[in-house]
Chain A
Amino acid sequence: MRARTADSFRETALTVGAGLGLVCLLLAVAAPLGGMRLLVFESGSMSPTVETGGVALTRTVPADDLAVGDIVSVIPPSGVRVTHRVVDIDRTGTPTLLHLRGDANEAPDPVPYPVTEADRVIVHVNHLGFVVDALASPYAVFAGGAFVAVLLMLAFGRRRPGRRAREARHRAPVAAAVVVAIALAGAGALMPARIAPTAAAFTDTAAASTGNLSSVTVPAPVVSCGTLIVGTTTLTWTPVARATGYTLHYGPNGSVTENVGPGVTSKSFSGLATSGVFSVEARLGSWSSATSNAKNYTVLLLLAGVCTNV
């Protein structure tokens, strides 16, 4: 009775071990040939499609085969693999620029990703990533190794103690199995990883706008005729708030220019006989206003001055 139980345990263990081993072997061989990759989602911006802890099987495809709506995985210069949905493809240049967005994100990723090829998601399963992650723990690795060792012992080990002849015959296969095991483990470690973690990073945007930032308009002064006395003609202009000075134009055709300070608001002309055109601009720092209205003025000795609109 006990022997039969032990036998059925041995059979089950061997069958399960062989099945799992075969799946691993097939995946290890088929995945690189088919450009396949298993991605474990470490964050959830693709939810509810793929949540944190989801697993996706991807296949590497050239950029030309990608379409808007595909979920693709790319490695940006930061080195952290990102898996998001394609929202726009810019094929105008080389390489192609992919605009990606997480389903749960308000906005697309800030910068497009330049790609010549990308890993397109074929199928995805939620929650499986937690299982895969648990398998990557040292305990699981140790348990797996121990399980394989037990199976090897069951298959090649001494069945009945005391039969020295058989023991000798079985040493060679056991040694061979150990060598194969070490070789396989080494090959697995050297093979490029087909299982990779991916971020499906959450993003958020915030825009802060200022109120208005406006520049001043320097108003033009208004010129009037002042008192006209014998031998002197005076012109005045309205003061301009914040002005740092005024620029006067007078003489024949306004050809003479003179700068005066901010407190000055009049200009007198006197002499034997002089005339010209008068106008003013207000200055504010390096800026100046538009030119004021212009006045013709005339001064004649012994006669009253004349001041008229141009």
Chain B
Amino acid sequence: MRPTHRRRRSGRVRALLSLGLLLGITQVSTLASWTDSATVQGGGFSSGTLDLKVGESAADQLPGQGGSWTHSTMTLGAMAPGESVARALTVGNGGSVALTYNATVVTSNNDLFNTGTPGLQVTVVEGATASNGGAQASNSRAGTCTGGTATSLTTTNVSTTASGLHGSAAALASGATRTYCVLAKLATTAPNSMQGKTTSLTFSFNAQQ
């Protein structure tokens, strides 16, 4: 009779201790509710690859991590004040998971930048078509971005200090691409001191899962 009694009492203690499991369960289930509301990937585990690619009309450059690519057709020599060039720039998600990205643009030097006086100006229009016309002999070479949605870069005086492309990061699903029209223009009112200068633009894209 006595051993049975002792065993029953210890059974009750153990049963009460097992109530601690309920604490653990509620803690773990907060994880589930957190995960559901989290903005990453719709929650849950994602084992995938992230790959941001760029290119002119197709995002066919820079597979894999990092790298830099020269958009060699995006160039214009002997620009007179008011002349411009427009080219397509495409960004693509070559990875297996969705990503968000943003970009900044800098110039390689400040030769065509002057505080308070417009020099080289950059306009990027999302989803626009790039075209070019005019002739060098008549100082009328002009690029045009047709259609699309304006970005933060609209007649922006660019310098070696980064200027942002989008106010907030843009989303890109796996396999998706987005095309931009990039317009570089030497302002009509560029100062005389900007003659005979050379610079280039670098767009730095940063993608996150």
Q: Which A residues form the contact surface with B (CB < 8 A)? A: 10-11, 14-15, 17-18, 20-25, 27-28, 40, 42-45, 51-53, 78-80, 105-107, 109-110, 129-130, 132-133, 135-137, 140-141, 144-145, 147-148, 151-152, 154-156, 173, 177, 180-181, 184-185, 187-189, 191, 193-197, 199, 201-218, 241-242, 244, 284-288
Contact = CB atoms under 8 A, between A and B. Distances in A.
A285 B80 contact: yes
Interface stretch (B8-16, B125-133, B144-152): B8-16
B32 interface: yes
Interface residues of B, number: 98
B86 to A, nearest CB: 12
Contacts, number: 337
A202 B202 contact: no
B24 A20 contact: yes
A52 to B, nearest CB: 4
Contacts of B68: 206-209
Contacts of A141: 25, 28-29
B22 A286 contact: no
A126 B19 CA distance: 29
B197 A215 contact: yes
Tell me the dominant secondary structure on chain B's binding face: mixed
A130 B2 CA distance: 46
B204 A211 contact: no
Contacts of A286: 81, 188-190, 192
Contacts of B97: 202
B195 interface: yes
Contacts of B139: 242, 244, 284-285
Contacts of A79: 38-39
Contact of A42 (B40, B54, B77, B196): B40
A287 B27 contact: no
B192 to A, nearest CB: 5
Contacts of B199: 212-214
B76 interface: yes
Contacts of A244: 139
Interface in B73-110: 73-82, 85, 87, 89, 91, 95, 97, 99, 102
B46 A211 contact: no
Interface in B29-49: 29-32, 34-35, 38-41, 43-49
Contact of B137 (A110, A136, A187, A241): A241
B11 A10 contact: yes
B27 to A, nearest CB: 5
Q: Which of B40, B44, B47, B81 has the most CB of A within 10 A?
A: B40
Nearest to A40: B31
B23 A25 contact: yes
B45 A42 contact: yes
A208 B202 contact: yes
B23 A208 contact: no
B25 A152 contact: no
User: What 10 A-B pairs have minimum CB-CB distances, sorted nearest first?
Assistant: A211-B75, A188-B26, A21-B20, A17-B18, A24-B24, A155-B15, A217-B196, A202-B50, A18-B14, A25-B20
A256 B114 CA distance: 32
Given A213-B112, A286-B188, A199 B81 contact: no
21 contacts: A22-B17, A23-B24, A28-B20, A43-B40, A43-B209, A135-B25, A140-B25, A148-B21, A180-B19, A181-B22, A185-B23, A203-B206, A206-B207, A208-B70, A209-B203, A210-B75, A214-B199, A215-B186, A241-B137, A284-B139, A286-B189
A207 B32 contact: no
A195 B54 contact: no
Interface in B156-209: 182, 184, 186, 188-190, 192, 194-209
A112 to B, nearest CB: 13
Contacts of B12: 155-156, 173
B62 interface: yes
A221 B71 CA distance: 36
